[in-house]
Amino acid sequence: RKEVEQDPGPFNVPEGATVAFNCTYSNSASQSFFWYRQDCRKEPKLLMSVYSSGNEDGRFTAQLNRASQYISLLIRDSKLSDSATYLCVVKPNSGYALNFGKGTSLLVTP
């Protein structure tokens, strides 16, 4: 089983729609969780950390469910500029490496 799994998509949504991505992780002792955004042929950039109580940053909401070992990202009122690949990232409780999912592709259309 892969460390971090995501639906690759693509998710094609119209402007203004709400879209949600899920990500599952295999290591129950994982301690830190993040969502990164990667534009085509660019480096990944931190979108937001994911906290146990859930957190929101503008149109973006992240949730963590430790019991079921998944995290989610909700994007409200989608913009054309949200089109990108969204990477789920999990930090195990030991070692230095972060485990990256392969990413979910989002395309927001006019």
| Residues lying near another protein in the complex (CB under 8 A) | 31-32, 34, 41-46, 49, 87, 89, 91, 96-98, 100-103
Cα separation, 93 vs 32, whole angstroms: 8
Using CA atoms, how far residue 88 sits from 14, 45, 108, in Å, is 23, 12, 19
Q: Smallest distance, Å, CB 104 to another protein? A: 11
Cα separation, 99 vs 6, whole angstroms: 12
Q: Which is nearer to another protein, 2 or 79 (CB)?
A: 2
Q: Smallest distance, Å, CB 32 to another protein? A: 4
End-to-end CA distance of the chain: 38
**Cβ atoms of residues 31 and 25 within 8 Å:** no
Q: Which is nearer to another protein, 1 or 43 (CB)?
A: 43
Q: Which is nearer to another protein, 49 or 76 (CB)?
A: 49
Q: Smallest distance, Å, CB 86 to another protein? A: 12
**Cβ atoms of residues 21 and 11 within 8 Å:** yes
Q: Smallest distance, Å, CB 40 to another protein? A: 11
